[in-house]
Structure 1
Amino acid sequence: MSKKYDFAQQFPNQTRKAGECIFEEGEKGEFAYIIDEGEVEISTISADNKKIILNILKAGDLFGELALVDGSPRSASAYARTNVVLTIVTSEQVKTRIEDADPILKLLLMVVMKYFRSETDRLRLAKEELDQLTLQKTQKDYQEKIFQAIELIRLESELRTGFKQNELVPFYQPIIDLKTNLIVGFEVLLRWFSATRGNISPSIFIPLAESTSLIVPIGEWLLEEGLKAILRIKEETNYNVFLSINIAEKQISDVDFLPIFKNKIITSSVNPNQIKLEILERSLFEGDIALSLMNDCRNFGLHLVIDDFGTGYANLSYLKNFKFDTMKIDQCFVKDLENNDKDQIICRTLISLSQGLNMTTVAEGIENQSQLDILKSLGCNYGQGYLFSPALPLEKAIDFIKQQQHQ
């Protein structure tokens, strides 16, 4: 038996002569196979009744497992290309191995399965004649998808390790009162300084964390760090600031989210009014559960911020059904504000809407004085961006406040 796959139980061997069918497309899958000797051809039939060879497998390869995993019919046929010796693997054995596997390996399997089935269907239904170059391109695309999936899995694994090894660091971007030009709070932003990859962009690792359960413990840890920061800022500057903390959809849907947050805040002795929860528009969902959660947050004293409103579905019913304290104006409406009349109209509308609903507004991504002047004239309450300061580690954030106090 091949040693490429570590199956605990030896199953009977089967032999097939060259050209003999092992299984046909459309059949129900009851077994998977490991090639001990010889070669197996995986193929399908196109819409114009031509055979398309999808792959040639050799000794040590496993095939036929996809139909066992999800119960779908065989998506391709398998024929002995030469005389072959096969080891049979039962569906129970495959499913047991999958259930015992690491979650990231399950993710890889799902990605590969989905792509393989979609590509097989596309090739089968293609009306044009498929030449060798087309098949080579399909195989190349398939390999690229596998590579991307593996790279994603590696990155997630490194993120989990990095989180345990304190490679994640909270940074604090000042939020400024546009009337007084004084700092009133910070948005907590996460940075990852990987020991192996260097500085990883948040645009890469934050969506990765949000797509898995990892965002839940990271979010809890980030709140703890933020609460410590509030107390330290008070101790060193005698200044009370609020912190805006981004909340992901997986956190909102976690039944333990609010009780854990409440407990951490109560234990810290920080006033709940100093914590603002930033919720992306796309993370919102309708229903009594969501409404109850939002009401519980407000009753506890937490302030609610709708983030990036207008960049997603822009569902005004969210503003009607959920009571927010603040609306954040996304930087995509600010970055060209001084040159684009439409951006000015959008910002004016969002600020007016917020004022009508008794919400304050925070403009993100302010980079120059012209943008600041326009936002002030439109009645925007608060702002953040490189014009004031980039996100800073805690030590420098404290220095920023001290410098302001001495002005």
Structure 2
Amino acid sequence: MGLWNRYGVIIVSQSYEFLAAVTPVFAKGTSFEVIGAAHHGNEALSCILTDKTDLVVIDLDMPDSEGLIAVQLIMSHYPIPVMMLSSQTPEGAVQTIQAMRIGATDYFHTQLLAQESYAGVMTAYFLERCKMAVHNGIQRVYESAIPVDVNKEAAISEGLLDKQDKFQRRMDIEFNLRKAIDQQEFRLVYQPVVDIVTKRIVGLESLIRWHSAVLGHVSPSDFIPIAEESGLIHQIGEWVLRESCRQNMAWQEAGLPKMFVAVNLSRRQFMDRGLYAMIKSILVETGLQPQYLELEITESMSMGVKLVADTLSQLKMLGIRVAMDDFGTGYSSLSYLKDFPIDKLKIDQSFIKGLKIKQVNAAIVNMVITMARNLNLLVVAEGVETEEELQVLQECGCRFVQGYYFSPPVQAKQIEDILHQEICVI
């Protein structure tokens, strides 16, 4: 660690505005100290050699590829952790991939630090990323510099090639994710929520799927975290909301039973001050009545109880229902019930699996259902896959379930067929 028990940081940029925006960010933390600034790679090398430098932050938006040149110089002469900052897309993404291939440790989007709606949360996140870059950077720098053809067997045995492949995969996902909406590569599938008393569908949860023209099928567990980090989740989330409402309205206009469609909202979406106006606009645009839209939040909404409660209260005023997803997986579940205007609890599937043979799980599920009943909350059990699990849930008094026992997530046309069959049964 550098002077005053802090990591020494050098910032490389030719922009006064960039320096003025980034330098104060490091002053807000206790782990870093900006010890110098440079206009290009050679000047950065001089600073590194004369000062105790732990991290170099490089402005990737400098003209004439000066940022990439700086990375190359540092990696060639004195490899240390490098954090890239960029505000250009998609061009910036291309340069970022090139910088990572050269050996940059991590990157971050400059605009995320500048947006007031992210306030101190994004600053803290950025500083944490910088700290991780320092902690892991030296190892990654030398891993990326390993000549594969020379020590290939040793590299494979130590897992170094695998790490590089994963890192490249992450960069490829982000680059192609930026084009996915315009190229209409996303689609929604819907999983029914079933009333086990009437055996009828009462609602649907919409889930996003992505088939990239370049990467093929990409799992949500892979691309959603990257969308969160890059800020693309706002654009993707808006598309999901609009498409879910549009499809629900189309079903209603076709004479199918009116029911809610649930949409998952991410932590980042809640940080967007325009969320309320955006959802209201989508409801007006699609013509969907607000009682047929349900928003699902999770316990990761811990950036501030007041912020979440205020946002949810605004949305509730529109007539939208709110469900807490994955209930029971976080330590603050119970406190959220008193702070947030919740209509429904969704019991996480980890408590449902093996319900017949796991007495602890059954006790927890029974407690949640009893508590919810006393609080006038609805309960949905997620991940129901077997007759045994369904039987235990019935014995506990759970009325609504969701899972592969009834149906996996399916496309809109299949939902239409299922609902038409229900109408025929009536």
Please report the TM-score for the alignment, with normalisation by the length of structure 2.
0.68
What is the number of equivalent residue pairs in this alignment?
Answer: 330
- Kindly tell me: are residues 285 and 31 of structure 1, through their superposed partners in 2, closer, same or farther at Cα, counting changes over 3 Å? closer
The offset of 1:176, in angstroms, is 0.6
Corresponding position: 1:259 with 2:272: no
Q: What is the SS of the residue equivalent to 1:305?
A: strand
State whether structure 2 residue 106 is matched by structure 1 residue 111: yes
Deviation string 1:78-127 (CA, Å, 9 cap, x unpaired) is: xxxxxxxxxxx999x969x95565257569545287666325789xxxxx
| Cα deviation code 1:26-59 (max 9, x no counterpart) | 985757656xxxxxxxxxxxxxxxxxxxxxxxxx
Q: Give the corresponding residue for 2:111.
A: none
Return the letter of the residue paired with 2:396.
Answer: L
C-alpha distance in 2 between matches for 1:221 and 1:368: 34
From 168, 172, 191, the equivalent of 2:209 is 191
137-146 or 367-376, which deviates more? 137-146
Inter-CA distance 362–145: structure 2 relative to 1 (3 Å threshold): same
Q: Distance in 2 between matches of 1:100 and 1:254?
A: 19
Is 1:174 the equivalent of 2:192?
Answer: yes
Deviation at 1:212, TM superposition (A): 2.4
- Which of 294, 307, 314 in structure 2 is aligned with 1:276? 294
| SS of alignment partner, residue 308 of structure 1 | strand
Which amino acid is 1:74 matched to?
T
2:326 matched residue in structure 1 = 308
- 1:110 and 1:355, CA in 2 relative to 1: closer, same or farther beyond 3 A? farther
Question: 1:176-325 maps to which residues of 2 (within 5 A)?
Answer: 176-325=194-343
Post-superposition Cα deviations, 1:347-399, rounded to whole Å, max 9, x if no partner, equal 11111121121110011111111111111121113111111111111111110
Q: Which amino acid is the alignment partner of residue 373 of structure 1?
A: Q
Where do 4+ consecutive residues of structure 1 move more than 4 Å?
Answer: 26-34, 65-68, 97-101, 103-108, 112-116, 119-122, 136-147
**Counterparts of residues 368-379 of structure 1 (less than 5 Å):** 368-379=386-397
- Name the CA distance, whole Å, in 2 between partners of 1:66 and 1:261: 50
1:247, distance to aligned residue in structure 2 (A):
0.2
**CA distance in 1: counterparts of 2:298 and 2:37, whole angstroms:** 43
Distance across 1 between alignment mates of 2:39 and 2:157: 25
Supply the distance in 2 between the matched residues of 1:182 and 1:115 (Cα, whole angstroms). 50
1:49-88 equivalent positions in 2, closer than 5 A: 64=45, 73-75=52-54
Q: Are the counterparts in 2 of residues 29 and 74 from structure 1 also a CA contact under 8 Å?
A: no
Once residues 156 and 39 of structure 2 are traced to their aligned partners in structure 1, the CA distance between those partners, rounded to angstroms, is: 27
Higher share in helix = 2
Distance in 1 separating the partners of 2:137 and 2:229: 27
8 Å Cα contact 2:192-2:402 kept in structure 1: yes
CA distance in 2, matches of 1:105, 1:348: 54
Work out whether 1:349 is the aligned partner of 2:375.
no
Deviation at 1:255, TM superposition (A): 0.5
Query: Between Structure 1 and Structure 2, whose CA radius of gyration is higher?
Result: 1
Q: For residues 279 and 357 of structure 2, what CA distance do their matches in structure 1 show? A: 42
> Paired residue for 1:340, among 351, 358, 366?
358
Question: What's the C-alpha RMSD, in Å, of the aligned pairs?
Answer: 3.7
Q: What per-residue deviation string (whole Å, max 9, x for no partner) do you get for residues 207-252 of structure 1?
A: 2222221111111111111112112211224310100000000101
Unaligned runs of 5+ in 1: 1-6, 9-25, 35-61, 77-88, 123-132
Which amino acid in 2 is paired with 1:341? Q
Q: 103-112 or 178-187: which moved more?
A: 103-112
Normalising by structure 1, report the TM-score: 0.71
Are the structure 2 counterparts of residues 312 and 64 from structure 1 closer, same or farther at C-alpha, using a change threshold of 3 Å?
farther
Q: How does 1:361-372 map to 2 (within 5 A)?
A: 361-372=379-390
What pairs up with 1:155-174 in 2 under 5 angstroms?
155-174=173-192
